[in-house]
Amino acid sequence: MVAKLPYLKRRPLRALEKTWVRGEAFFNRWSTSKYNPLYHVGTLTIFLLIVIAVTGVYLTVFYRPGTERAFETVAWMSSTWLGSLLRSIHRYASDALMVTALLHALKSFLNDSFWGSRWLAWVSGWVLLALFWVIGVMGYWLVWDQGAQWITEYAIELLGGPVAMTFISPEAASKAFMFFVIVLFLHVFLSLLVILGVLIHVMRMQRVRLWSPRWLMIGTTAILAVFALIAPVSSTLPADLSRLVGVLKIDGWYLGYLPLATRWGTPVFWGFSILLFSVLTAFPWLLRGRSVGPAIINEELCTGCTYCALQCPYGVIEMVARKGDEAGQAVAVVQPDLCTGCGVCVGACPTEGINLLELTISMLMDGLKRSLADRRAAGVAPAVIFSCQRHTAAGELSADQEGVLTCSLPCAGMLHAKWVRECLDEGARSVVVLSCPSDDCAFREGPQWLDERLGRLQRRKSLRGRVHWLEAAPGDHRRLVSLLGGSDQEEAGERRKIKGFKLISSRHAFPSVAIGLLLVSLLFGFSLIPHWTVAASPPDQGMLRLEITHGGKLIATSATLPPEIQAKLPQGVSPEQVLGAERFPVRVRVQIDDAPVTEHTYKPSGLREEGIIYGVEMFWLPPGQHQVRVWLMDDGVNWREVFADEIEIRSGFVQTLDYDQKRGVFTLP
């Protein structure tokens, strides 16, 4: 007797979830659900953020910005055992952070915890992931090795203008120092914004779990330290913008965009990335599901006991004064837009004064009692299984078996203690409650409140041995078969037994912790897979780079205004004060080896186009001598030749033509 819950009708998503939970169940057979790190990826992400912050404080204290000192200070820190250890832990924790954050998002997606009132957690989670990436890229930039140089060259090509002048103009040293200070500030400041993002991420949860189990935090720290000692992080060659970046090993989590953007092209890569991010954050509306909620309060039965408000995992029930009651007796009120339809409040209400809109108590119990009456008439005393919908979707309870009746609930925490007694009174030989592990409940707190309710029942001698609770991963159907068979059978070398009313594992904690930490090691090792060696520039090629910084010529001057207009200007007032300081754009035409290669227009900066004009052009050329000619127009009318000479291009090197505004020509440094 499986209720047709909306959750079960989303078959493609349930098929994906079924595949995933079977992997979790397989792990639990070798260990226990208590030591499964996959149930703690959310809190593990927060712990990794703390590790990154602590190690980052040390690195920031000894870091010195600037193109002259950044690489040297990082190299000095890496030469000391403590600096090398903390830098390596910082790097490995940053990579592991991406894996745990993505796993957390995947689990939320698979168990349908991303739509409805939980859209805020889903969207803020993806924004946080994007923020992690931005902060990580800035961290790589601060090292100022060849990886940082590649980031710089891509930024020059993408943004041009002042960014390019920061590194390739004659005054680059002073400008670059300020740039490093700004990047360092943003690297730290954006990290502080992560705290705000986490608070937004969990703001709709009533009792937030921020800390991972102690064994996992200690084990994670030890694993990161072992990784750091076995394979300490080192920098590549120092950045040198006079040379091209050759072949280097990059961290794909943070720098993988560089080869992809180079291969696909910047518009295609960023267009696809923005589209993918937009689709992912729009999942709560594109793939919106349907719950059996919201919860409905029967004010006539509500006594104002506050149990429902206290036990709601998301705090969507509040107690308000009952209308027209001079004594001020409280009544529960549900915020329907925020209700997830978990039903925990239904099981909490002593008077059964709460129902879910599409799954009322009468719908559940009336049908169940009729089925029990039919089985009793046939001389059969069945076992009744109350199961959460995730277990039902995993396939163990897809159909009623001989001697078994099933009742599917949105969450096992919806179970009311009264229902168990009624089933036993109606002829059931036993009642089995099948829930997710307490650390993996899709509604966060179902097993916690279930433990309290069933614990009270277990104290009744008449119910002992007839009420059982199986806390298992969806897909672990062998444990259910063992329980229904009433045996203490051996399963995969592990002896499982019933103690009181709850099926527990007799496996010792140490091997379970060891297996759990082994899985953590594999996850962290997986985070190192996207580290690959790539060629940042074409082989056997050199580059010619043109850089221009031009003050621009004013469009409105005394020489361009008719005498009658000049006569109307007040004494001491210039034309640009009245007509504005708008400047002519600068046009550049380049010819290499008698072939035109580009003609580009650079507009003045500023809203009124009154600022400095910046421009950068880059050309890949084979090694050898090349005849280069450059023309420039800065008055809107006349072209003038500003460079004509042969330039030697060397493989792997960059030649830069810099515009000398005083002389009005391009020069080689």
Indicate which CATH number applies to the domain containing 660. 2.60.40
pLDDT at 494: 38
One domain, residues 312 and 434:
no
One domain, residues 314 and 188:
no
Q: Which of 331, 359, 387 is the last residue of a domain?
A: 359
Q: Is the peptide bond before 447 cis (omega within 30 degrees of 0)?
A: no
pLDDT at 384: 92
User: Which one is predicted more confidently, 72 or 397?
Assistant: 72
pLDDT tier at 4, thresholds 50, 70, 90: confident
Q: Which residues of 251-282 are buried (b: 16+ CB within 10 A; e: fewer)?
A: bbbbbebbbebbeeeeeebeeeeeeeeeebbe
**594 vs 401: CA distance, rounded Å:** 86
pLDDT digits (tens, 9 = 90+) for 12-42: 999 999 999 888 888 887 878 889 999 999 9
Among the residue ranges 30-34, 241-245, 346-350, 393-397, the one predicted with the least confidence is 393-397
What rounded mean pLDDT belongs to the chain?
A: 87
CA angle 4, 8, 12 (to 5 degrees): 145
CATH number for position 315: 3.30.70.20
Establish if 583 belongs to a structural domain.
yes
DSSP notation for 68-129: TTHHHHHHHHHHSHHHHHHHHHHHHHHHHHHHHHHHHHHHHHHTT-SSGGGHHHHHHHHHHH
In total, how many domains does the chain have? 4
Q: Rounded to whole angstroms, what are the CA distances from 390 to 133, 449, 476, 624?
A: 33, 18, 12, 68
CATH number for position 229: 1.20.810.10
One domain, residues 237 and 312:
no
Domain extent for 392: 361-506
pLDDT at 578: 59
Strand partners, 421: none
Residue 398 has pLDDT above 50, yes or no: no
Residue 447 has pLDDT above 50, yes or no: yes
Contact status, residue 644 vs residue 156, Cβ threshold 8 Å: no
Among the residue ranges 211-215, 257-261, 377-381, the one predicted with the least confidence is 377-381
One domain, residues 567 and 471:
no
**504 vs 248: CA distance, rounded Å:** 52
pLDDT digits (tens, 9 = 90+) for 82-127: 999 999 999 999 999 999 999 999 999 999 999 999 999 999 999 9
Amino acid at 92: Y
Establish if 301 belongs to a structural domain.
yes
**213 vs 45: CA distance, rounded Å:** 13
One domain, residues 567 and 652:
yes
In the 8-state DSSP scheme, what is residue 583? B
Give the tokens for residue 148.
Answer: 């940082």
Residue 359 has pLDDT above 90, yes or no: yes
Establish if 312 belongs to a structural domain.
yes
**30 vs 28: CA distance, rounded Å:** 5
pLDDT tier at 305, thresholds 50, 70, 90: very high
Q: Rounded to whole angstroms, what are the CA distances from 259 to 54, 255, 537, 600?
A: 31, 8, 10, 26
One domain, residues 351 and 303:
yes
In this prediction, residues 422-430 reach a mean pLDDT of 90
Give the tokens for residue 327.
Answer: 């004594």
Q: Which of 322, 344, 359 is the last residue of a domain?
A: 359
One domain, residues 594 and 615:
yes
Residue 460 has pLDDT above 90, yes or no: no
Establish if 247 belongs to a structural domain.
yes
CA angle 547, 548, 552 (to 5 degrees): 170
Contact status, residue 309 vs residue 317, Cβ threshold 8 Å: yes
One domain, residues 392 and 482:
yes
Please, how many CA atoms are within 13 Å of residue 405, restricted to the half-sphere of its CB?
Answer: 26
Establish if 535 belongs to a structural domain.
no
Establish if 11 belongs to a structural domain.
no
**How do 467-471 and 430-435 pair as beta strands?**
parallel
Establish if 499 belongs to a structural domain.
yes
| Model pTM score | 0.90
Residue 549 has pLDDT above 50, yes or no: yes
pLDDT at 510: 78
Establish if 523 belongs to a structural domain.
no
One domain, residues 204 and 295:
no
One domain, residues 447 and 571:
no
**173 vs 289: CA distance, rounded Å:** 56
pLDDT digits (tens, 9 = 90+) for 266-283: 999 999 999 999 999 999
**601 vs 585: CA distance, rounded Å:** 7
CATH number for position 394: 3.40.50
Pick the closest to residue 532 from 241, 247, 167, 111 (CA basis). 247
Residue 189 has pLDDT above 70, yes or no: yes
One domain, residues 254 and 299:
no
Residue 580: Cβ-neighbour burial (10 angstroms; 0-12, 13-18, 19+) = middle
Q: Which of 478, 506, 534 is the last residue of a domain?
A: 506
Residue 489 has pLDDT above 50, yes or no: no
pLDDT at 488: 39
E-strand stretches of 490-530? 490-491, 494-499, 502-505
One domain, residues 325 and 444:
no
